[in-house]
Chain A
Amino acid sequence: MLVLRLTDATYTDMVAHALDGLPNEACGLIAAIPGTDKIDRVYRCGNAAASSRLYEVDPLDHLKADRDAEGRGLEIVGVYHSHTHTDAYPSPTDVKQAPDPSWHYVLVSLKDPEPVLRSYRIVDGAITEEPVELERR
């Protein structure tokens, strides 16, 4: 079953980064123990596009995150980014540029006073929302 499992810490980190990134979109990568959907680590990355409408994961931040994850026995399994003025739903640009059908695509919307976090799979242009399960530690 498709699901994204977060802890309080990983959930809070993505939402906090979204808020810290204002007025621009914030972005980063998420890593899991291989073969699981449980996100163990959040890597905040720079937004090389430095825009409130677009994001581009800073390529060197991506390389560092990839290496760090590998060193910890984790793998990068998805990306998160914020939408500052729109819903937590993939934009046409998000779908067009989604690089990996096995990834989780997490959106944090700051459109409303309360941030909204949702997760999707994007396969061949088709968007499927997956449940987000929050595990309390």
Chain B
Amino acid sequence: MAIEVEVRLPTVLRQHAGGQASVQANGETIGAVFEDLLRQFPLLKGQLLSDDGSIHKFINVYKNDDDVRYLDKLDTPIGADDVISILPAVAGG
């Protein structure tokens, strides 16, 4: 059975998802959830993944309280009660 989770979007990405702060997506891993997000909201293309298919360096992705870069990145498994949060990576010089 497909797992549906809540994905929380930062202000800068909401314009590509109908203005919503939080959306529902299906998938058993972060990668599958991202694929579903891109199916639902094609305007997010280029915002979530880089050209090589990895998580874009301009965003941070969290499963609940954990940065998925320190879990299994796109292969991180998702459960029905998990909340995925996406925030911009804020950096500069």
Q: What residues of chain B lie closer than 8 Å to A99, measured between beta carbons?
A: 10, 12, 58, 88-90
Q: What residues of chain A lie closer than 8 Å to B18, measured between beta carbons?
A: none
Assess A59 versus B89: contact at CB under 8 Å? Given A97-B58, A100-B11, A100-B12: yes
The reply on A62 being an interface residue by CB < 8 A is yes
Q: What residues of chain A lie closer than 8 Å to B89, measured between beta carbons?
A: 56-57, 59, 97, 99
- Count of A interface residues, CB-CB < 8 Å: 27
State whether A75 touches B11 (Cβ < 8 A): yes
List the one stretch of B23-31, B34-42, B59-67 in contact with chain A: B59-67
Assess A56 versus B91: contact at CB under 8 Å? Given A63-B62, A99-B12, A102-B11: yes
Q: What residues of chain B lie closer than 8 Å to A94, measured between beta carbons?
A: 92-93
Interface residue SS majority, chain A: mixed
State whether A63 touches B90 (Cβ < 8 A): no
Assess A98 versus B92: contact at CB under 8 Å? Given A63-B65, A75-B11: yes
Q: Which of A29, A66, A90, A102 contacts B92 (CB 8 A)?
A: A90
The reply on B76 being an interface residue by CB < 8 A is no
* 14 further contact pairs, Cβ within 8 A, besides A63-B85, A63-B87, A94-B93: A54-B91, A55-B93, A56-B89, A62-B60, A62-B87, A66-B87, A75-B11, A93-B91, A97-B58, A97-B89, A97-B92, A99-B88, A100-B10, A102-B11
- The 5 tightest CB contacts between A and B, nearest first, are A93-B93, A99-B88, A94-B92, A57-B90, A56-B91
